[in-house]
Structure 1
């Protein structure tokens, strides 16, 4: 058996924490190692427990969730974060991604999306609620042609790397990409690393946004 995914939860609403606790425990492969009621406590617990994934609410007292996210990413860079909030406005999505979030999940999402988001973040994949995924891509300004800088970056990719970029932009995990392309998960990880290096991106969401701007993602073209 594999070790459970260790999660730290930060939300100032006790009832919300209890509900999320119940959902995660029922997943079977996820362990809640700590709960924080504000951003400052979340930073302290992240340093103490060094979880695999931290779930952070946006609006919390003392230190807000996005400030806590930036500090946690600075102090414990190996931790992946999912922002969990009731607010779906563009400003929160953009700020969460800029702060290094691996996912953005609305609290009114389907129950099964929560453990799926945790699993994706733990595996190094991006997870955004379907509404948020579309929102992130739609918020990019329309341009008559893809930016030359983005096209130049895409041009450095091999055919296989470009194929993998499109698949990871669709939200597929490394294992799912490997199964679709009939290659090992380890090979996918190597390709993903090379894609990030060539594109100058440090996570899948930013890579997906660049792919969208460059016109690689047909479903999101204007």
Structure 2
């Protein structure tokens, strides 16, 4: 059973989310918190597996709460569930360790799947959010991409995909963000493995991370 805490200052919305999640036999909502500070206290008491956080809450917002949760309870998966798709919020939450970022117009089955997949370690990002992250990330990763490209003689597209692999994007998310088929993504990743001398995704990620940090 996946234990979930919901943090949202709008109690009626939190109760609605609880009702949706508990239609799944795999999920139990253990607590509802009214803000980030309350969420931290309840996590300390009950140690949930997944925390669903709104962004804009009094006392401590969802982004800061994400930072504090991941610092104190790194095993807890944090998913942001909000009405805002602002790139700064998205990047800050992901950088602090959030496992995903969802908009509240998500349907019930997709929300349940997102919680389960986050618990399993997947990065949860809808297509439109993934594209925003890709666009924003390009502005801050140019130097890293240059180092990676030169180190392994990667093409521009291979470099772009390699960077996304290092950020835990799965093939479906890469496909959606770059508007190419999953088969094409797999072909690119196979070529990247060869150039990196990697046997699998985990090894490729480790090699990429070392390469992009080498010039820092």
**TM-score, normalised relative to structure 2:** 0.72
Bigger Cα Rg: 2
Other-structure match for 1:93: 90
Q: Call closer, same or farther: CA 1:151–1:84 in 2, change over 3 Å.
A: same
Other-structure match for 1:116: 113
Matches of 2:28 and 2:142, distance apart in 1: 48
- Tell me the SS of whatever aligns to 1:32: strand
Which blocks of at least 5 consecutive residues in structure 1 are unaligned? 157-161, 173-179, 181-189, 202-209, 211-222
Matches of 2:21 and 2:115, distance apart in 1: 9
Name which of 170, 173, 176 aligns with 2:172: 170
2:149 pairs with 1:151: yes
- Tell me the SS of whatever aligns to 2:58: coil
Other-structure match for 1:126: 123
- Tell me the SS of whatever aligns to 1:55: strand
2:208 pairs with 1:199: yes
Other-structure match for 2:189: none
2:15 pairs with 1:26: no
Other-structure match for 1:206: none
Other-structure match for 1:13: 10
Moved more, 128-137 or 78-87: 128-137
Name which of 95, 99, 102 aligns with 1:102: 99
RMSD: 3.5
Partners of 2:127 and 2:173 within 8 A in 1? no
Partners of 1:153 and 1:199 within 8 A in 2? no
CA drift of 1:193 comes to: 3.6
Partners of 1:125 and 1:171 within 8 A in 2? no
Which blocks of at least 5 consecutive residues in structure 2 are unaligned? 155-161, 175-185, 187-198
Matches of 1:87 and 1:51, distance apart in 2: 25
Matches of 2:28 and 2:2, distance apart in 1: 6
Q: Call closer, same or farther: CA 1:50–1:198 in 2, change over 3 Å.
A: farther
* Count of residues in correspondence between the two structures: 182
